[in-house]
């Protein structure tokens, strides 16, 4: 009897251990299937599953796995479609959900905001540090009315301007839900052009106002006080009027030249010409204006430079502008050098006008090619400058596909270089 009970106990214990082992296998199978989102017990027979009491559970779980697979496939397809549609556009595109978690950001957005681990999954407020933009999004979340707004963002110590707009779209992570599409269109260049236009109009108005005021004032005096004005005074007043009228004429001509160069950059007519002969001719023209005892014009020409293609009329205009500036602003120079060099490595001909006059302060050198920029505003106007000559020069050189730059230190003279492609 005792032996029978012992045997029965062993059988019961073995059955219990076997049951525990099977349960552990079942749990392991379910755990693995859930981690990989796949079906379970697909190779087992219905009879065996029923015998183990797993048939109903297996069917329920496999139905759930099938639904999840369908959803994942649809969601992946939708996300791929969003990425293909918006990923390559130049505008910054961000999609975020109702919790303000970013669900999608295209390459332009990633480049702008430079998050180390990407934008997806981050909170909107931690990425967009623009009060104007956050205010726009806050207003949109309240009334769902799409509005355009201009907002600014700082990027790499540069202020960028964007035109921002929002729209309600189908959710990315949860297609049945709703998300917000934010689009930022870069208008920084438009803002800069607008600012340039305002400055240009202000400068032109100022430049025109001075000679017009002089002409108007002296003309009114001549008319109103004609009987009491002496011939000497009348002649002096007429001289002032003539000088101001000439200044207006030069300013208008410079403005027209600049306008033509900017609106028709392809009007350069390049032909095979000699830069050497142009420099020799220019030097001869200006030598009659120098004090032969104290001043000289020196030609420094690289004999390797042969004839090549450039617009002789326009480059003559460049050279005249640069040399005339020396006579106007550095009239006490001792030596004015006109230089031509062949830069074989760059396949360029680099020309230079170099004087040993008073020079330009280092802070002004980067700005001298800007419109209406003057190092000494009072002296420039007194000497008849319009502030447009170097801007015109820069446009002509760039229209040739070349480059222009200046080097100077105060008291050390000025060297202005312009380099043209050596096409022969």
pLDDT, mean over the chain:
78
SS3 120: coil
pLDDT in tens, 264-289: 666 778 899 999 999 999 999 898 88
pLDDT of 385 higher than 80: no
pLDDT at 251: 78
Which band of pLDDT confidence, cut at 50, 70 and 90, is reported for residue 315?
Answer: very high
Find the length of the chain.
424
Query: CB neighbours (10 Å) of residue 320?
Result: 15
Buried b (16+ CB within 10 A) or exposed e, 264-298: eeeebebeebebbebbeebbeebeeebeeeebebe
Neighbouring-strand partners of residue 309:
272
Return the exposure string of 181-209: e unless at least 16 CB atoms fall within 10 Å of the residue's CB, then b: bbbbebbeeebeeeeeeeeeeeebeebee
Residue 229: pLDDT band (50, 70, 90) is confident
Strand order through the sheet with 178-186: 102-105, 92-96, 178-186, 158-170, 149-155
Query: Helix 275-287 to helix 312-329 angle, to the nearest 10 degrees?
Result: 30
Return the higher-pLDDT residue of 166 and 59.
Answer: 166
CB atoms within 10 A of CB 392: 23
pLDDT > 90? residue 221: no
Tokens encoding 303:
């004999």
Question: Could you give the domains of the chain?
Answer: 26-86 (no CATH), 87-186 (3.30.450.20), 188-263 (1.10.287.130), 268-424 (3.30.565.10)
Measured over the CA atoms of residue 93, residue 95, residue 100 and residue 103, the dihedral's sign is negative
Distance (Å, whole) CA 355 – CA 414:
6
- Other CB atoms within 10 A of residue 304 CB: 11
| 3-class SS of residue 102 | strand
Q: What backbone phi and psi angles, to 5 degrees, belong to 415?
A: -125, 120
pLDDT band at residue 323 using 50, 70 and 90 as cut-offs: very high
Residue 28 has pLDDT above 60, yes or no: no
Task: Say what the pLDDT of residue 410 is.
Answer: 85
Residue 88 phi/psi, 5-degree rounding, is -100, 0
Specify the pLDDT at position 278: 94
Q: Give the distance, in angstroms, between the CA of residue 301 and the centroid of all CA atoms in the same chain.
A: 39
pLDDT digits 0-9 by tens, 49-77: 555 555 566 666 666 666 656 555 555 55
Quote the CA–CA distance of 104 and 96 in Å, as a whole number. Answer: 7
Strand bridging mode 296-301 / 335-343: parallel
Pairing of the two strands 92-96 and 102-105: antiparallel
**94-128 pLDDT tens trace:** 888 888 888 888 888 888 887 767 788 888 887 77
Residues ≥6 apart with Cβ < 8 Å to 122? 101, 102, 115
Is the entire prediction scored with pTM above 0.75?
A: no
Residue in 422, 129, 182 with CA at minimum distance from that of residue 302: 422
Measured in whole angstroms, the distance separating CA 130 from the mean position of its chain's CA atoms is: 19
Beta bridge partners of 299: 338
Whole-angstrom Cα distance, residue 32 to residue 41?
Answer: 12
Helix, strand, or coil (residue 272): strand
- Answer yes or no: is pLDDT of 173 > 80: no
**Dist CA 347 CA 349 (whole Å):** 7
Three-state DSSP state, 398: helix
SS (H, E, C) 308-374: EEECHHHHHHHHHHHHHHHHHHCCCCCEEEEEEEEECCCCEEEEEEEECCCCCCCCCHHHCCCCCCC
Rounded distance, CA 318 to CA 263, Å? 19
Q: Is 87 left (phi over 0), alpha (psi -120 to 50) or beta?
A: alpha
Read off the tokens for 305: 């430079």
Question: Are 72 and 84 in contact, with CB atoms under 8 Å apart?
Answer: no
């Amino acid at each position: 009897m005792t032996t029978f009970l012992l045997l029965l106990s062993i059988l019961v214990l073995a059955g219990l251990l076997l049951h525990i082992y099977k349960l552990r296998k079942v749990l392991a199978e379910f755990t693995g299937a859930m981690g990989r989102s796949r079906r379970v017990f697909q190779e087992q027979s219905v009879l065996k599953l029923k015998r183990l009491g797993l048939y109903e559970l297996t069917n329920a779980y496999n139905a759930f796995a099938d639904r999840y697979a369908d959803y994942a496939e649809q969601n992946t397809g939708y996300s791929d479609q969003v990425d293909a549609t918006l990923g390559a556009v130049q505008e910054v595109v961000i999609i975020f959900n109702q919790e303000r978690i970013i669900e999608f950001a295209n390459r332009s957005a990633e480049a702008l905001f430079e998050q180390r681990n990407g934008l997806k999954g981050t909170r909107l407020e931690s990425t967009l540090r623009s009060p104007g933009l956050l205010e726009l999004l806050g207003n949109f979340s309240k009334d769902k009315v799409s509005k355009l707004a201009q907002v600014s963002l700082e990027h790499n110590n540069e202020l960028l301007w964007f035109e921002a707009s929002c729209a309600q779209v189908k959710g990315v992570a949860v297609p049945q839900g709703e998300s917000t599409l934010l689009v930022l269109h870069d208008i920084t260049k438009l803002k800069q052009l607008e600012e340039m236009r305002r400055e240009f109009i202000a400068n032109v108005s100022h430049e025109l106002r001075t000679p017009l005021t002089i002409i108007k004032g002296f003309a009114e005096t001549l008319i109103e006080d004609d009987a009491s004005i002496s011939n000497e005074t009348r002649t002096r007043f007429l001289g002032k009027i003539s000088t101001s009228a000439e200044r207006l004429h030069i300013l208008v001509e410079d403005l027209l030249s600049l306008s033509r160069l900017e609106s028709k950059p392809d009007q350069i007519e390049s032909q095979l010409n000699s830069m050497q002969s142009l420099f020799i001719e220019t030097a001869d023209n200006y030598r009659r204006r120098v004090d032969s005892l104290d001043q000289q014009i020196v030609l420094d020409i690289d004999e390797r430079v042969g004839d090549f293609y450039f617009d002789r009329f326009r480059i003559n205009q460049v050279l005249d502008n640069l040399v005339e500036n020396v006579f106007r602003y550095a009239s006490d120079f001792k030596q004015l050098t006109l230089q031509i060099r062949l830069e074989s490595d760059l396949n360029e001909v680099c020309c230079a006008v170099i004087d040993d006059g008073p020079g330009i302060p280092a802070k002004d050198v980067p700005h001298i090619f800007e419109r209406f920029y003057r190092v000494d505003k009072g002296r420039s106007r007194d000497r008849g400058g319009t502030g447009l000559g170097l801007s015109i020069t820069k446009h002509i050189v760039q229209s040739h596909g070349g480059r222009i730059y200046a080097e100077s230190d105060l008291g050390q003279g000025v060297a202005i270089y312009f380099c043209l492609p050596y096409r022969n």
